[in-house]
Amino acid sequence: MNKALRRPLIAGNWKMNKTPTEAKELIADIVPAVKDADNCDIVICVPFIDLALAVDMTYQTNVKVGAQNVHFAPNGAYTGEISAAMLKELGVEYVIIGHSERRQYFGETDETVNLRVRAALDAGLKVILCVGENKDERLANITNEIVSKQTKLGLADVATEALANVIIAYEPVWAIGTGLTATPEQAEEVCSFIRRVIAEKYGTDTADKVIILYGGSMNAVNARDLLAKEDIDGGLIGGASLKAKDFSVIVSEANA
């Protein structure tokens, strides 16, 4: 099975939660709770202000650190922004790009997503590129069209060699933070479609190796069935990543 070619990945997306003091407590709980998970990659994507302490606290552990956004310019007059080189130098390994909340609230477009993806890859970061339809788009039966467009435009001018550092997160917007999870079958249908979209552009060998995550109210209870699906290689976890116990249960399901 092709799934065996891919190492599972569980990424926590803390969003705008946890002050440095709170982050210290949560990381101190997460690190020992997941330390025996050797068969999957574990990432915590924390607010910018918590990155330095997260990198320090996870040093020489199996927990990696990610940011939740990055600017596309290498440096310059962009007040309030953070560059890929800044993240890289800090010891950050991953960055979430194009999360639906950034698309919805901060004017992110497929074009700016693509600029960020390329800047992050050029700097040597691993990218978690988020795609997903909203409720109206699902009801209008244009889910495939939406995720295909977001995937293709997000990866415009990204070379085949760089795909080893690209992770796609399929996050149906209607399932994010709502407690409504896509069924394993719904999630699998779109994740396998995304893999076909990647195969069309990069070939099957490359597509078979790309890690595709599901995100949207994944939790300690529903993780097992979602992760069992052929094209779902892990999860991008919001709410449940803020509780060490829940996060570690999801990690152990991925690790099993």
Smallest gap from residue 77 Cβ to ligand PGA (A):
31
171 catalytic? Reply is yes
Of all residues in this chain, which one has the CB nearest to ligand PGA in the complex?
238
Q: What angle do CA 233, 234, 239 make, to 5 degrees?
A: 160
Smallest gap from residue 14 Cβ to ligand PGA (A):
10
Q: How far, in Å, CA of 196 to CA of 158, rounded?
A: 17
Q: What phi and psi, each to the nearest 5 degrees, are found at residue 35?
A: -65, -25
| Catalytic annotation, pick one of 99, 101, 133, 137 | 99
Neighbours of 95 (CB within 10 A): 27
Rank residues 47 and 216 by Cβ distance to ligand PGA and give the closer one: 216
Smallest gap from residue 243 Cβ to ligand PGA (A):
11
Q: What phi and psi, each to the nearest 5 degrees, are found at residue 24?
A: -55, -45
Smallest gap from residue 13 Cβ to ligand PGA (A):
4
Residues facing residue 215 across a β-bridge: 236
Whether the CB-CB separation of 128 and 167 falls below 8 Å is answered with yes
80 exposed, middle or buried (CB, 10 Å; 0-12, 13-18, 19+)? exposed
Residue 15 backbone class (left: φ over 0; alpha: ψ -120 to 50; beta: rest): left
99 catalytic? Reply is yes
Q: How far, in Å, CA of 183 to CA of 165, rounded?
A: 28
Rank residues 108 and 171 by Cβ distance to ligand PGA and give the closer one: 171
- Can you read off the two tokens belonging to residue 86? 């800044």
Q: Give residues in contact with ligand PGA (CB under 6 A).
A: 13, 171, 176-177, 215-218, 236-240
| Catalytic annotation, pick one of 101, 171, 188, 253 | 171
Rank residues 13 and 58 by Cβ distance to ligand PGA and give the closer one: 13
Strands (E), 134-241: 166-170, 211-215, 234-237
Q: Which residues are catalytic, by number?
A: 99, 171
